[in-house]
Amino acid sequence: MRIIVMGTGPFAVPSLNQVLAQGHDIPVVVTRPSTESSSKKIPERPVAQWAVSQGLPLFEPVSINSAQAISRLSDWKPDLLFVCDYGQILSADCISTSRLGGINLHGSLLPRHRGAAPVQWSLLSGDSRAGVSVIHITPRLDAGPILSVRSTEIRPDETAEQLEPRLADMGGLATLEAIEMLQKWDGQSSIGQLQDRSLVTRAPRFAKADGQLDFRLTADYLARLVRACQPWPGTYAELQWPGGKRLRLIVRSARACQQEKQSVEAVAQMPGQVRQIDSQEAKLLWPGAGQQLLAATTGSGTLLISRLQPAGKREMEVAEFLRGHPLDAASQFILPETVLKPLTA
């Protein structure tokens, strides 16, 4: 089958390898053009790098829905468009350049978590399972009928940085299954499973400010936020010592530890207080996490922290951090001036 592939980020690469290995004809690889960021560093484009490594031509339109881009796609006479981690929504005219339309590999169990950050929202929402879905593309965002699905359990303490490549690898077989279905399709009859609109949730992209930790929220939520924000935007808070010294910390690994509920009056005074947990207690609370932990009081429960990164420094375990920054009994995390609301889709 003659397939034009469209992608930019790393999630697409394992599936592209599978499509190519199956002997499908890829006349061109469509990817977002290279642009400088505000820091003047050119962002990596894994799909572009993959295309070059495979000796495949690149097409890098600013807008895939422009008349010029649609004309170019038509010239290649594709049987199918395969889209994954591309970054643009295809118009009806764009989709119609292909005999069988298009398919999109999405990093969630649709209709749950439609949008740009499905893996992060799977973790933030506390889902027990995650997965990938291949849909027949319609002009509406992630709304087409589902052709193929693969799912997996989310592992304890798994971060988005760990889960995303697992899902990307699963996407290859799901993609091949969808392609096989379309090879047998008559182009007229219904195909796939329609999505239940009542089960739709949204997965918008995170902003940098979304990583700020507010210890007035629950430990469960904060632990999920830490996992969802790895590697970007990262979760952070400022630790303050008596006398006014402050240090911004990026929290890299955390887990919720439930305690008996405190009175409303006590909770109002306690969020953000932090203490050191030494080896014996640390082994009981979080086996294998390290010799020492930080325990921060929250609006409900305690947030255990095992790995962190001081601003401008490398990531380290709590024990190493405490050797250079011993805590005082009055050390605490600074709370934002206004209570941050939990992220909701």
pLDDT at 41 over 60: no
pLDDT at 86: 95
Average confidence (pLDDT) over 158-169: 98
Helices (H), ranges, 203-285: 219-228, 264-269, 279-285
List, in order, residues 6 or more apart from 64 with CB less than 8 Å away. 6, 30, 70, 73, 86, 88, 90, 94
Among 326, 269, 336, smallest CA distance to 297 is for 269
Q: Phi first, then psi: what are they for 326, rounded to 5°?
A: -60, 145
Say if residue 73's pLDDT is above 70: yes
Q: Give the burial class of 129: count Cβ atoms within 10 A of its Cβ; 0-12 exposed, 13-18 middle, 19 or more buried.
A: exposed
* Beta-carbon count within 10 A of 200 CB: 15
Kind of pairing between the strands at 29-30 and 58-59:
parallel
> For residue 68, what pLDDT is reported?
98
- Residues 70, 68: Cα–Cα separation, whole Å: 6
Q: List C-alpha distances in Å: 221 to 98, 237, 334.
A: 44, 15, 18
Residue 282 pLDDT > 50, yes or no?
yes
What does DSSP say about strands 332-333 and 235-240: parallel, antiparallel, or unpaired?
Answer: antiparallel
With pLDDT > 90 as the criterion, what percentage of the chain qualifies? 84
Q: Across-strand partners of 83?
A: 6, 104
- Give residue 318's identity as a one-letter amino acid code: V
- Range 216-237 average pLDDT: 96
- Alpha helices by DSSP H, 26-66: 46-53
Q: Is the pLDDT of residue 259 over 60?
A: no
Residue pLDDT, tens place only, 136-146: 997 776 789 99
Query: 339 or 250: whose pLDDT is higher?
Result: 250
Question: Which domains does the chain carry?
Answer: 3-199 (3.40.50.170), 208-333 (3.10.25.10)
| Confidence at residue 269, expressed as pLDDT on a 0 to 100 scale | 54
Q: Where residue 345 falls among pLDDT bands split at 50, 70, 90? A: low
Question: In terms of Cα–Cα distance, which of 153, 134, 271 is closest to 193?
Answer: 134
- Assign 123 to helix, strand or coil: helix
Q: What are phi and psi of 93, to 5 degrees?
A: -65, -40
Residue 42 pLDDT exceeds 60: no
